[in-house]
Amino acid sequence: MDGSTVRAYVDLLRMHFGFAWPLLFCSGTVLAFAAYGGFSWPYLLTAALIGFFGFEAGMVLNDYVDRVYDTRDVDGRMTRYWRLFGTRPIAEGLIPARSALILCVVLAAAALVLIFTLPFPHAIFVALIMGYSYMAEVFYQVRKRSQSVPVAQLVGRTDFALFPVAGYLAAGMPDVTGLLYFLFFYPYALAHLAANDLADLRNDRARGMQTVPVLYGVGGTVTWIAVCTVLHGIMAVFFAGVLVPVAQAGLLIGFLLLVAATGIILRGNGAPEAGMRALPLFHVAMVVYAGGIVLGFFV
C-alpha cells in the first residue's frame, strides 16, 4: 500500500476525528459504571474499541451510499475540514467502492465481535442500537435526496444521539439517566447537522439534497439551529441533575461554546462562511461534554 492509498484511507475514516468517537461512547459507559458498578480497565477499553470501530464503519457507510452524489461537489471546504488530506476517496476513485464496502463490513464485524464479549443483556442492547443506527444512516442518506419536510434529519440524527446511550447500555440498563442523555444530545445533534449543512449549502444544492438550508433557506436554518440550541440547553439542566460537579462544569462550558457558535451564525446572517466558522465550536463542545463526564468519573 503506497502513501497515496494510505492518505485516502485516512480521509475515508476521518482519522483526525477518530479520538472523539470512543470518548463519546465511553462517556456513557462511565456513567453506567457510576450507577451500576463493574468498572475495569479492560471493560472500558472494550467499550472504547466498540465505539471506534462502530462509528468508523458508519463513516465509511456514509461515503459509500453517497459515492455518486459526492462527485457533484463544487465547494471543497467541507471536504478539507472533515478529511485531513482533502479528498473524497470513493468519489474520486482513490479507493474502489467494493473495497470501501468490505472495509465497512470488517469494521462493523469487529465492533460486533467485541459487543458480544459484553455480558447479557448489555451485548443485546448495544447490538440492537448498532443495527438500528446503520439503518438510520442509510435512510438519512437516501431520504434527504427527495423530501419536502426534513424527515431524513429528524430520523437519521437519532443514530448519533443514541451513540453515547449505547455506551451507557454497554454497562448499564435502560433507565432515566440513559433517557436524559438521549434527550440532551438529540437537539445538539440536530443543531450540529444543520450547521454542517449550512456550511455545505453550495454542495447540497449541486447534489440536489433536500437539507434544512435547501428546504427552509438561510433564515429558516438559523431559526432551526437557535431553537435546537435552546432545547438542548433546557435538557442540559435536567441531565446535569444526574452528573457530578466536574461533568456539570463540562456541560456549562460546552453549552457556552454552542451559544457562541449560534452567535457566529446569527451575526453572519446564516452565510455558509459563518457555518464553517461555527462548526469547530460544535465539535469542541461535544468533546468537552464527553470529556467532562469521563473526567468526572475519575476525579
What's the pLDDT score for residue 70? 93
**Cis omega (within 30 of 0) on the bond before 121?**
yes
Cα gap 136→142, rounded to integer Å: 10
Closest by CA position to 256, among listed 281, 234, 237: 281
What's the pLDDT score for residue 3? 82
DSSP state of 119: P
Q: pLDDT of 6-53, one tens digit each?
A: 999 999 999 999 999 999 999 999 999 999 999 999 999 999 999 999
Q: pLDDT of 220-264, one tens digit each?
A: 999 999 999 999 999 999 999 999 999 999 999 999 999 999 999
Whether residue 177 contacts residue 137, with contact meaning beta carbons closer than 8 Å, is answered with no
pTM to 2 decimals? 0.96
**Cis omega (within 30 of 0) on the bond before 22?**
no
Handedness of CA 259, 261, 267, 270 (dihedral sign): negative
Cα gap 258→291, rounded to integer Å: 16
What's the pLDDT score for residue 4? 86
Q: pLDDT of 52-101, one tens digit each?
A: 999 999 999 999 999 999 999 998 898 999 999 999 999 999 999 999 99
Say what percent of the chain tops pLDDT 70: 100
If you average pLDDT over every residue of the chain, what do you get?
96
Within 8 A by CB and 6+ apart from 58, the residues are 133, 134, 137, 159
Q: Give the CA distances from residue 226 to residues 40, 103, 133, in Å, rounded to whole numbers and listed in that order.
A: 40, 38, 26
Cα gap 131→201, rounded to integer Å: 30
Q: What is the mean pLDDT of residues 260-286?
A: 93
Q: Read off the pLDDT band of 274 (50, 70, 90).
A: very high
Closest by CA position to 279, among listed 197, 187, 180: 197
Q: What is the mean pLDDT of residues 152-162?
A: 97
Within 8 A by CB and 6+ apart from 225, the residues are 191, 194, 195, 198, 262, 265
Q: pLDDT of 195-207, one tens digit each?
A: 999 999 999 999 9
Q: Which domains does the chain have, with CATH numbers?
A: 3-298 (1.10.600)
Number of H helices, E strands in the chain: 13, 0
Q: Read off the pLDDT band of 1 (50, 70, 90).
A: low
Which cell numbers hold the place of 168?
A: 451507557
What's the pLDDT score for residue 59? 96
> Hey, what's the torsion of the CAs at 186, 187, 190, 192, to 10 degrees?
-100
Whether residue 238 contacts residue 181, with contact meaning beta carbons closer than 8 Å, is answered with no
